[in-house]
Structure 1
Amino acid sequence: MSAAAGTVAGTTAILLRAAHAGPALAVTVLSALLALSAGLSPGRAALVTAAVLAGQLSVGWSNDLRDRVRDAAVGRSDKPLATGALAVATVQRACGAAVVATVVLSFACGPVAGLVHLGCVASAWAYNLWLKATVLSWLPYAVSFGGLPAFVHLAGGSRPPAVVVAGGALLGVGAHLLNVVPDLADDAATGVRGLPHRLGARRSTLLAVALLVAGSVLLLVTSSMGLASTVAGGVLVAVLAGLALLGRGRAPFYSAVGIALTDVVVLVVR
């Protein structure tokens, strides 16, 4: 590999880290699975997945651009913009390109579907730019996660089931609470006061469990899975919920994450 190629590869890797590659990949994979389970053709499913990936990249980059000063203040060594490993202009250009790709790919899925997906992305941007530090920090997650299955179904020409939209919204709010809990101390040091910060770690985890259990029940009782699979899913959720309520240390957090993953599986295979 030439020095130039190595530099490009290195910059790309750091850019992906700044885009929150883990969560972006998780949402992108979820959208692909939803597209296939909704009966979309491989080509249509690929288009939906590409639109979601572009949107997630724009959301991740906008988040790090917005928070770079705050991340530097608390010594976030995992944030390339905060450490100076990436130039601000580089991320701005990448974010701008991702926004353009999101608009083009979203409308390629159909005008109504495109508007729904752009609404989901705009909601996530609203979280980054404003709502993250307010008591309404949960709202963009409800809108974006509830809107994702709606976008997938509309892209395939079908009406999104209301229970799936509601289940996605519950999953999104639960995921928001769980995602913020590990960063409560850093956020408090820089004045971020979203809903999880006002509730505290313990109550945020318990509320997340309650929402995820509610989403699980909603998706399970309305699913077309067999009785045995439905009962097995319910038992698994009940066990994880019990561990979350009674566990100590990080056990409640990991148990709640397990419920979230169960909800994702049910959402896909229902």
Structure 2
Amino acid sequence: MSPISRPSPAARLGALLGSAHPEPAVAVTLFTTVLAVATGRGAGGSALVAASVLAGQLSIGWSNDALDARRDVLTGRRDKPVAAGALSPRVVGVAAAMALLVCVPLSLANGLLAGSVHLLGMVAAGWAYNLGLKRTVASPLTYAVGFGTLPAFVTLGLPGAPWPAWWAVVTAALLGVGAHLVNALPDIEGDLATGVRGFPQRIGRAACRTLTPLVMLAAVGVLLVGTPGRIDLPSLIVAGVAVAVAIAGTAVPAAPDSRRPFRAAVLTAALAIVLFLFNGSAVV
């Protein structure tokens, strides 16, 4: 009988990182860091923002996989290291707790008010979603609150602790809701089969894939309305492309299993973020 092989430390580390939802964690961290640079947080302040947001995102990602371990096994999510047997839920749960403990002092180092906004906004909303709000019609609210507080986290760390412009908060909140819909689209059937009935699951795949690019497009509209004096030709070009992509993803008929609406939503979101960052210096 051959001995049972054990994963190497490198393999376990890779599985742990894969369980942290690395793509959205890096995307949210990068977006917030670039916004911090654009608003004048400086090299040190921007690095602190990046470390705070990354720790918070890691805690949210790991807690999601730890809490959803049984459901992921039932739905055959072999892309999830816990469901695939590469890690135990306990290991991932401990990692989530440790990341949360690290996130608290890092966030508060940005200033008491800024840190509290991050912890009570993005981090608390992410954990609340994982702990049960994902199964309710209020599921988009957690994303709206979480993303909507990121501009405030960045600007409140500046001298004088200024609040961000209204359009920055609304745009970030809409991008968050869009991110929720994009994330839910591929797994709606599996979610319904395991009792997850958040807003995307309740409205169904067809409605969700139509609504998703429109939410991203609404973020573009808020930017154009909120910063009329700062819109230049490159911004108008980006906005025009976003409109075209959103229309192509929703108005043009597609097969039920087509990935075009999903890809249109992702591209529209990317263009909205580009437009948002074009106006980053006006956030304060």
TM range (shorter): over 0.9
Question: Percentage identity across aligned positions?
Answer: 44
Could you say what the CA RMSD is over the residues aligned between the two structures, in angstroms? 1.4
Query: Could you say if the C-alpha distance between residues 155 and 49 of structure 1 is closer, same or farther in structure 2, counting changes exceeding 3 Å?
Result: same
For residues 91-111 of structure 1, give each alpha carbon's deviation from its aligned partner in whole angstroms, at most 9, with x where no partner exists.
222112101111010000000
Aligned equivalent of 2:265, options 240, 253, 256: 256
Q: Structure 1 segments of 4 or more deviating over 6 A? A: none
Query: Could you say if the C-alpha distance between residues 49 and 247 of structure 1 is closer, same or farther in structure 2, counting changes exceeding 3 Å?
Result: farther
Question: Are the aligned partners of 2:69 and 2:89 in contact in 1 as well (CA < 8 Å)?
Answer: no
Question: Are the aligned partners of 1:221 and 1:230 in contact in 2 as well (CA < 8 Å)?
Answer: no
Q: Which structure carries more helix by proportion?
A: 1
Partner Cα distance (1:251, 1:84) in 2: 32
Q: TM-score, normalised by structure 1?
A: 0.94
Partner Cα distance (1:231, 1:107) in 2: 38
Question: Are the aligned partners of 2:182 and 2:262 in contact in 1 as well (CA < 8 Å)?
Answer: yes
Partner Cα distance (2:276, 2:95) in 1: 32
User: Equivalent residues in 2 for 1:229-240 (5 A)?
Assistant: 229-240=234-245
User: Larger deviation: 132-141 or 78-87?
Assistant: 78-87
Partner AA of 1:256 in structure 2: A
Could you tell me which residue of structure 1 aligns to residue 151 of structure 2?
149
Could you tell me which residue of structure 2 aligns to residue 193 of structure 1?
197
What SS does the aligned partner of 1:76 have? Answer: coil
Aligned equivalent of 2:209, options 205, 208, 212: 205
User: Equivalent residues in 2 for 1:1-270 (5 A)?
Assistant: 7-119=8-120, 120-156=122-158, 157-223=161-227, 225-245=230-250, 246-248=252-254, 249-270=258-279
Q: TM-score, normalised by structure 2?
A: 0.90
For residues 176-195 of structure 1, give each alpha carbon's deviation from its aligned partner in whole angstroms, at most 9, with x where no partner exists.
11110100111111111110
Could you tell me which residue of structure 2 aligns to residue 3 of structure 1?
none
Partner Cα distance (1:262, 1:220) in 2: 13
Partner AA of 2:177 in structure 1: V
Task: Report how far residue 159 of structure 1 moved.
Answer: 2.0
Task: Report how far residue 174 of structure 1 moved.
Answer: 1.1
The alignment of Structure 1 onto Structure 2 pairs a total of residues equal to: 265
What SS does the aligned partner of 1:138 have? Answer: helix
Task: Report how far residue 80 of structure 1 moved.
Answer: 1.3
Question: Are the aligned partners of 1:142 and 1:170 in contact in 2 as well (CA < 8 Å)?
Answer: yes
Question: Are the aligned partners of 2:216 and 2:269 in contact in 1 as well (CA < 8 Å)?
Answer: yes
Question: Are the aligned partners of 1:220 and 1:233 in contact in 2 as well (CA < 8 Å)?
Answer: no
Question: Are the aligned partners of 2:239 and 2:272 in contact in 1 as well (CA < 8 Å)?
Answer: no
Partner Cα distance (2:38, 2:8) in 1: 40
What SS does the aligned partner of 1:114 have? Answer: helix
Partner AA of 1:201 in structure 2: R
For residues 196-225 of structure 1, give each alpha carbon's deviation from its aligned partner in whole angstroms, at most 9, with x where no partner exists.
011111211222222211110111333364
Query: Could you say if the C-alpha distance between residues 220 and 233 of structure 1 is closer, same or farther in structure 2, counting changes exceeding 3 Å?
Result: farther
Partner Cα distance (1:14, 1:212) in 2: 32
Question: Are the aligned partners of 1:18 and 1:64 in contact in 2 as well (CA < 8 Å)?
Answer: yes
What SS does the aligned partner of 2:68 have? Answer: helix
What SS does the aligned partner of 1:81 have? Answer: coil
Partner AA of 1:81 in structure 2: V
Partner Cα distance (2:178, 2:65) in 1: 22
Could you tell me which residue of structure 1 aligns to residue 282 of structure 2?
none
Partner AA of 1:48 in structure 2: V
Question: Are the aligned partners of 2:65 and 2:89 in contact in 1 as well (CA < 8 Å)?
Answer: no
Partner Cα distance (1:88, 1:176) in 2: 24
Q: Which 5+ residue runs of structure 2 have no aligned equivalent? A: 1-6, 280-284
What SS does the aligned partner of 1:32 have? Answer: helix
Task: Report how far residue 226 of structure 1 moved.
Answer: 4.6
Partner Cα distance (1:67, 1:207) in 2: 26
For residues 141-174 of structure 1, give each alpha carbon's deviation from its aligned partner in whole angstroms, at most 9, with x where no partner exists.
0000101111111122332111100000011111
